[in-house]
Chains A and B, each alone.
Chain A
Amino acid sequence: MSKRKILVSFAAMCMLSTAAVAEGPKPGGVINAVIQPEPPSLMMGLVQNGPTQMVAGNIYEGLLRYSPKLDPLPGLAESWSVSEDGKVYTFKLVKGVTWHDGKPFTAADVLFSIEFLKQTHARARGNLAQLEKVEAPDQSTVVFTLKQPFGPFIGIFEVGSLPMIPKHLYEGTDFKTNPANNTPIGTGPFMFSEWQKGSFIRLVKNPSYHVKGKPNIDEIYWHVIPDAAARSVAYETGKVDVLPGGSVENFDVPRLSKLKNTCVTGAGWEFFSPHSWLWLNNRSGPTANKKFRQALMFAIDRNMAKDVVWNGLGKIATGPSGSAIKYYTSAVPKYDYEPAKAKTLLKEAGYKGEKVRMLPLPYGETWQRWAEMVRQNLQDVGINVEMVATDVPGWNQKVSEWDYDIAFTYLYQYGDPALGVGRNYVSSQIAKGSPFNNVEGYSNPEIDRLFADGAVAFPDAAREEIYAKAQKILVEDVPVAWMLELQFPTITRCSVKNLITTGIGVNDGFRDAWIEK
């Protein structure tokens, strides 16, 4: 190519990119996305599962949103301040916001939502445990007063954690049977339009949305397609434009990502930080021995799992906190893949080939393959592993009743160790009947004290020191075997722009999305 041609091409490229920049968001268009499984309800105050938030995160809003670095962003609150002693949080609400039925959204709705969610939302109830009172000095100001400083408090206002509920529709009613549950009314960028159970959910643009010029999209169709292979085909044949994280099996991701006009991103999971590990039963059997647990960490090739099972997505977990979580430290003991070291530790632990029962997570092929890979790793160092097959309810039952030796899991961490990490290690959370607490039965008074102190320490520097210490102790003790910081790839047409703009990703609504024509 001649110099002149190169210059012309370069100039043309510059013009094109300038034109693209100048184009900016365009109004109009329809997004077809996949939702799986079908949500049981879209009323976020009553149902808090992933699919419900993914759809209804467009209908409802919280006071705040969070950036990929988990810094608070304006939501229904336009500004906020914290008192010097860290006990009083004052929120100024956006003025002129209306519910989808035209009624004004005010501070009274915030107060009502707090009371509503204390009754119906397990996570909100825990997050609000330090709340002494909440007041509304005027229609657009809300003041939260805490019993003592609670470090993660500013991180609890995301739409899934604390959605705003319309007081005028729910006050004085039986929340669970309120007819409004079937036609959810929020303040969000999209309004509920139609739900054909088993087929699709249709949302339409909220013309009175409080952010000027938003949303850009006219309609969203959420298609319910139960089979993972069929979801891949739906994308491949152009019937859907968005496959949110986890919609297809990981082995389909490389193939789909090579399709024309297809973009793949792992962004948008920073707030949830899905963290995977193996529950290790600390109460009995070989896994009760610390050296055996450390041996497991050295025996498992997590890099291979990341590259082969997860197609290179995600990160090796270094300890109990994901790297996006506040106060994360990598200054902890390291467990690289060293089978020889694992064998030595097994010998020191006095392991004599006793059978160890392992429960894979029954969430599809990816998890099955991962379990098989781990079993191979463990067998290579001489551990006698028996796989126990279950379905989801069976897995829940076995894990909640502590009927396992090793069990795969992953849990969300919600941005702060006090919200989504401590629950799995403090001894007050040892109780049968739940697969999400301290299932492994690890008990360490120092860890209990550190997590108790960390939640209420003030200012941030004090919390950082406490959690760094806790992470070091835990990684040394290996109460569970941390595996990967998961990344669920979202697959979209590249023409769908700005779909993910916050740390909550597709669960935060499509208010900024637009379609390049």
Chain B
Amino acid sequence: MISFIAQRIAKAIVVLLALVVMNFFLIRMAPGDPAVVMAGEAGAGDQLFIAQLREKFGLDQPLPVQLFLYVKGILSLDLGFSFRQQMPVSKLILDRLPATLLLTGTAFAISLAFGILFGALAARFAGTWADTVITIAALIFYATPLFWVALMAILLFSVTMDWLPSFGYETVGAGYTGLAHVLDVAAHLILPATTIGLFFMATYARMTRASMLEVSRLDFVKTARAKGLSDAVIQRRHVLRNALLPVVTLAGLQAGTLVGGAVLTETVFAWPGIGRLMYEALLQRDYNLLLGVFVVCSAMVLAFNLITDLVYRSVDPRIEFAA
């Protein structure tokens, strides 16, 4: 198992470097550069100022030189300096990463737990009104854009009912500590986490339902029934467990894309995470910061894929590790 993990990590590093090089060129293909954006914000139009900025950022050097310096930095775990934020990229990302992990982790847990639960219920009661309700709700949440759900949630729960805060990570200036702080953050977390969670929950519910219905038609389920096991035991121990494999695969793949969902949600809810950092860096052509966030996101996707492979093993003992 250790050699399997080591080999996967080695491969992941190669993939990561390839992604860095590809992203490096992709970003630079977009029109505009950070010097012009910053000069624009300063309302200062002279060429000297823009030239100074380009020189300061190293943008006056040939592209291969810029790439060489960047990759060299990456290899020594240096993600560079953010042009706009005037701070090391790694510090910016590390400062924001916990908020994103909290948000996406909660959203992931909500989506997985409720997705599997509702999917299982829909399969168990397939063809009944409960199945129809769950299926329609899942389709609606899957088809509705995240930012729209976010705005409607704010309108309902913050403006109309005044139950939950509409923006931020905590109540600024309240000075809460201990349990009060935890509850305050939790209150701020509910709307954004549920918004992301609903979208992914819909996918898992659909996947679980389909997979369970498929598994329940297999011979070993008939055998279990012939043995006289109760329906609840058959569904939980035999059908659900076997039906979870594709759900685990999907969850592993989507864990990485959760950050993508967080870009919009963090922006609407002013959640101070790396999704927002990425969005702002993109608009400001903050090359180093954008690449840094991409590196971290790519690393997360690769890590989740590895974890998925490991989880396979525990869900289905028939699977063996092979490098």
User: Interface on A for B, CB 8 Å cutoff?
Assistant: 30, 32, 37-38, 40-41, 47-50, 121-123, 125-126, 176, 181, 196-200, 202, 219, 221, 223-227, 229-230, 233-234, 236-237, 239, 390-398, 400, 411-412, 423, 429, 431, 433-437
Contact between A435 and B31, CB atoms less than 8 A apart: no
Contact between A122 and B39, CB atoms less than 8 A apart: yes
Question: With an 8 A cutoff between CB atoms, is B169 at the interface?
Answer: yes
Contact between B40 and A199, CB atoms less than 8 A apart: no
Contact between A412 and B168, CB atoms less than 8 A apart: no
User: Interface on B for A, CB 8 Å cutoff?
Assistant: 30-34, 36-50, 56, 84-86, 92, 95-96, 99, 151, 154-155, 158-159, 162, 165-170, 172-173, 267-270, 272-273, 276-277, 279-280, 283-285
Would A396 and B40 be within 8 Å (CB), given that A122-B49, A433-B47 are in contact? yes
Query: What residues of chain B lie closer than 8 Å to A199, measured between beta carbons?
Result: 168-170, 172, 270, 272
Report the minimal beta-carbon distance from B188 to chain A, rounded to whole angstroms: 11
Contact between A227 and B47, CB atoms less than 8 A apart: no
Contact between B30 and A225, CB atoms less than 8 A apart: no
Cβ-neighbour of B92 out of A197, A225, A227, A411 (below 8 A): A197
CA distance A423 to B41 in the complex (A): 17
Residue pairs across A and B with Cβ atoms less than 8 A apart, 26 shown, are: A32-B173, A49-B41, A49-B43, A50-B43, A196-B272, A197-B95, A198-B276, A198-B277, A199-B172, A202-B173, A230-B166, A230-B268, A233-B155, A233-B158, A233-B159, A233-B166, A236-B159, A392-B32, A393-B33, A394-B31, A395-B32, A396-B32, A397-B31, A423-B45, A434-B36, A437-B46
Would A122 and B46 be within 8 Å (CB), given that A199-B169, A233-B166 are in contact? yes
CA distance A391 to B31 in the complex (A): 9
Cβ-neighbour of B267 out of A122, A126, A226, A397 (below 8 A): A226
CA distance A234 to B154 in the complex (A): 10
* Interface residues of chain A: helix, strand, loop or mixed (majority): mixed
Query: What residues of chain A lie closer than 8 Å to B95, measured between beta carbons?
Result: 197
Q: Chain A: which residue is nearest B82 at the CB level?
A: A40
Contact between B162 and A237, CB atoms less than 8 A apart: yes
Contact between A436 and B44, CB atoms less than 8 A apart: yes
Contact between B166 and A237, CB atoms less than 8 A apart: yes
Cβ-neighbour of B270 out of A226, A392, A394, A429 (below 8 A): A226
Cβ-neighbour of A435 out of B36, B85, B173 (below 8 A): B36
Query: What residues of chain B lie closer than 8 Å to A226, measured between beta carbons?
Result: 267, 270, 276, 279-280
CA distance A32 to B159 in the complex (A): 18
- Most interface-central of A41, A226, A229, A429 (chain B CB within 10 A): A226
Report the minimal beta-carbon distance from B89 to chain A, rounded to whole angstroms: 13
Cβ-neighbour of B151 out of A32, A37, A229 (below 8 A): A229
Contact between A392 and B44, CB atoms less than 8 A apart: no
Query: What residues of chain A lie closer than 8 Å to B159, measured between beta carbons?
Result: 233, 236-237
Query: What residues of chain A lie closer than 8 Å to B158, measured between beta carbons?
Result: 233, 237
Contact between B40 and A40, CB atoms less than 8 A apart: no
Query: What residues of chain A lie closer than 8 Å to B86, measured between beta carbons?
Result: 40-41, 47, 176, 181
